[in-house]
Amino acid sequence: MFNNLSSLPAYLASRRSGKPRDMVAPGPDADQLDALLRLAMRTPDHGKLFPWRFVKIDDRKAFAALLEKAFLADNPDARPAQIEAAIAPAHMAPALVLLLYAPQPSAKIPLWEQQLSVGAVGMNLLHAAHVFNFVAGWITGWASYSPVVRDAICTGDEQIAGLFYIGSAGQPLEERPRPDPAQIVRNWP
């Protein structure tokens, strides 16, 4: 596990997502996964509303069956190869957790701020996985927007913010273009 605080900035600068389809064992065991989720929950959250939930997907076969049902609802004439591709996300990576946006009624805290908080939880989970020397990836894909999947997993107004895959890198991680701070950061006035 990462344990050199003096090199933390460099370590954070090295973080990048892994591709879920390339992830291999080892992934987090049950205790490590709970520790990762606990770290992810240490997230700014105006009003202490906790507008987020995690759903651990242990039974991958059941999740695959749900994805198949959801895919066929929208694509009743799908060919077997298309169904196979659609349910592939159910079998990727050693660990899979869904992050849900769970908006809470509040006279004071706008939903926008609650959405910001769930995004921060997602980022925090990626960082936590990295600190534990795992790779992680945040994917929404089609399943996050499927009403069939949502109805099976969410309650009330919850929405799927993403599927979080955690494991070890089976392939070298690819870097992606990072923004030029000169284009992103400005001074005011």
Ligand X SMILES: Cc1cc2nc3c(=O)[nH]c(=O)nc-3n(C[C@H](O)[C@H](O)[C@H](O)COP(=O)(O)O)c2cc1C
Whole-angstrom Cα distance, residue 116 to residue 110?
A: 10
89 forms part of the interface with ligand X (CB under 6 A): no
Q: Which stretch binds ligand X (CB under 6 A): 29-37, 71-79, 101-109, 133-141?
A: 133-141
Closest CA to 135 of 93, 163, 177, 99: 93
Residue with Cβ nearer ligand X (30 or 123): 123
Residue with Cβ nearer ligand X (46 or 127): 127
137 forms part of the interface with ligand X (CB under 6 A): yes
Instruction: Please report how close the Cβ of residue 154 comes to ligand X at its closest, in angstroms.
Output: 16
48 forms part of the interface with ligand X (CB under 6 A): no
Residue with Cβ nearer ligand X (50 or 138): 138
Whole-angstrom Cα distance, residue 128 to residue 186?
A: 29
β-pairing, 23-24 vs 95-101, is unpaired
Instruction: Please report how close the Cβ of residue 142 comes to ligand X at its closest, in angstroms.
Output: 8
17 close to 136: Cβ distance less than 8 angstroms: yes
Burial 90-120 (b: 16+ CB within 10 A, else e): bebbbbbbbbbbbbeeeeebeeebbbebbbb
Among 47, 94, 103, 141, binds ligand X (CB under 6 A): 141
**Could you say which DSSP state residue 172 is in?**
P
Residue with Cβ nearer ligand X (30 or 86): 86
Residue with Cβ nearer ligand X (105 or 177): 177
Interaction residues for ligand X, span 96-125 (CB under 6 A): none
Whole-angstrom Cα distance, residue 173 to residue 20?
A: 11
170 forms part of the interface with ligand X (CB under 6 A): no
Instruction: Please report how close the Cβ of residue 149 comes to ligand X at its closest, in angstroms.
Output: 13
How many Cα atoms are found within 13 Å in the side-chain-facing hemisphere of 144? 16
Residues of the shown chain interacting with ligand X in the complex, contacts defined by CB under 6 A? 16-17, 126, 137-141, 162, 176
